């Protein structure tokens, strides 16, 4: 059968499209871990991965996961997705093995994070003068109402038994156990304002309360998916198909990033529309549907 020049051109063009299509629709695949920390929704490795509300706070750069606030950037040591808690470390924090000056730690008030209830902050080398108002409330009926936890004395005793802290020879009265709820709605711990030189943070006694060397030092940050803290059903459906939840476009529309690099508006079962950038590509561009369509088109042209 002799094909017309027009038919030959159409077939040649479609073969070219078929061969080059993968390069047109493949995109950067979202990583499933950053270093040794697994990544799951709402966190992502790159822009377009995870929940856009968390993108500015938790980032992956050179296989290092970092938590950023207006007071600095801090390494993420672990994420408990069951408890919805991010664990971070503060290099400027004092521990049982190292005492150093610090400016404190704060959360961004508009970020979707709060302090986990198990956090304990111990402010060190604080001024004990009642006239400076550093650690005292503003209650006119009780101007000396301390913001420090009265139950914190044992914690201070244990901390001050650490070699690194005991060498400074500080009186125990300069230690103040400060719980996250006292940081107020701004989640701010300004050590300069509080007139303390450093702080120690930990989120677990690790079963050995009297041994500060075994405590888990760091900060535990709680996160919520949304106001009702409900896991998005679209994301759950995407992950059940081995996809990674993400977003795209000016309106941060939901996408499901599949292992082969495709971005689908639904899941990775190839039963939805696919997108590259902001352009939607029909689902018949993938798998057997593409073969069926090309076969149908070829037969139509030949006939």
What SS3 string covers the chain?
CCCCHHHHHHHHHHHHHHHHHHHHHCCCCCCCEECCEECCCCCCCCCCECCHHHCCCEEEECCEEEEEECCEEEEEEEEECCCCEEEECCCCCCCCCCCCCCCEEECCCCCCEEECCCCEEEEEEECCCCCCCCCECCCCCCCCCECCCHHHHHHHHHHCCCHHHHCCCCCHHHCEEECHHHHCCCCEEEHHHHCEEEEEEEEECCCCCCCHHHCEECEEEEECCCCCCCCCHHHHHHHHCCCEEEEECCCCEEEEECCCCCEECCCCCCCCCEEECCEEECHHHCHHHHHHHHHHHHHHHHC
Please state, in angstroms and rounded to a whole number, the distance separating the CA atoms of residues 299 and 16: 17
In angstroms, the Cα distances linking 202 to 24, 57, 119, 222, 252 are 49, 21, 6, 14, 36
Identify whether 117 is part of a domain. yes
Identify whether 213 is part of a domain. yes
Averaged pLDDT, 59-74: 95
Q: Dump pLDDT digits (tens) for 68-96.
A: 999 999 999 999 999 999 999 999 999 98
Averaged pLDDT, 172-179: 83
Same domain, 92 and 135: yes
Cis peptide before 185 (omega within 30 of 0): no
Same domain, 199 and 246: no
Q: Dump pLDDT digits (tens) for 133-163.
A: 456 554 445 444 456 776 667 888 898 888 8
Averaged pLDDT, 266-292: 51
pLDDT of 211: 93
pLDDT of 202: 94
Same domain, 163 and 260: no
Q: Which domain holds residue 295?
A: 5-27+232-302
Same domain, 162 and 183: yes
* Chosen domain end from 180, 203, 223: 223
Identify whether 269 is part of a domain. yes
Per-residue confidence band for 21, with pLDDT thresholds at 50, 70 and 90: very low
* pTM of the complete model: 0.77
More confident residue, 173 or 98: 98
More confident residue, 53 or 301: 53
Question: What is the total residue count of the chain?
Answer: 303
Among candidate residues 224, 218, 225, the one with its CA nearest the CA of residue 114: 224
Per-residue confidence band for 272, with pLDDT thresholds at 50, 70 and 90: very low
The overall average pLDDT reported for the chain is 79
* Chosen domain end from 193, 223, 253: 223
Range of 12-21, 25-34, 140-149, 283-292 with top mean pLDDT: 25-34
Q: Half-sphere exposure (CA, 13 Å, Cβ side) for 216?
A: 13
Averaged pLDDT, 153-179: 83
Same domain, 186 and 276: no
Report the b/e string of 119-131 with b at 16+ CB within 10 A.
bbbbbbbbeeeee
Identify whether 161 is part of a domain. yes
pLDDT of 36 higher than 90: yes
């Amino acid at each position: 059968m002799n094909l017309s020049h027009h038919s030959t051109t159409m077939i040649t063009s479609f073969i070219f499209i078929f061969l080059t299509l993968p390069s047109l629709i493949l995109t950067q695949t979202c990583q499933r871990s950053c270093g040794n920390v697994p990544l799951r929704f709402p966190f992502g490795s790159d822009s377009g991965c995870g929940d856009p509300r968390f993108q500015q706070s938790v980032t992956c750069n050179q296989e290092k996961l970092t938590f950023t606030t207006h007071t600095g950037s801090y390494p993420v040591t672990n994420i408990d997705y069951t408890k919805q808690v991010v664990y971070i470390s503060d290099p400027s924090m004092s521990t049982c093995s190292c005492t150093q000056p610090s400016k404190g730690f704060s959360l961004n008030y508009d970020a979707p994070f709060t302090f986990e209830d198990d956090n304990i902050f111990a402010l060190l080398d604080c001024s004990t003068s009642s006239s400076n108002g550093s650690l005292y409330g503003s209650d006119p009926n009780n101007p000396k109402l301390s913001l420090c936890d009265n139950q914190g004395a044992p914690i201070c005793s244990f901390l001050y038994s650490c070699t690194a802290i005991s060498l400074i020879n500080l009186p125990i009265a300069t230690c103040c156990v400060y719980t996250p709820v006292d940081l107020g709605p701004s989640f701010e711990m300004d050590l300069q304002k509080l007139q303390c030189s450093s702080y120690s943070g930990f989120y677990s006694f690790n079963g050995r309360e009297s041994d500060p060397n075994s405590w888990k030092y760091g900060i535990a940050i709680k996160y919520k998916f949304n106001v009702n803290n409900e896991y998005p059903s679209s994301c759950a459906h995407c992950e059940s198909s081995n996809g990674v939840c993400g977003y795209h476009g000016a309106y941060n529309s939901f996408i499901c990033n599949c292992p082969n690099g495709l971005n689908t508006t639904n899941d990775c079962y190839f039963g939805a529309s696919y997108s590259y950038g902001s352009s939607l590509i029909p689902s018949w561009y993938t798998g057997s549907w593409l073969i069926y369509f090309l076969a149908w088109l070829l037969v139509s042209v030949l006939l």
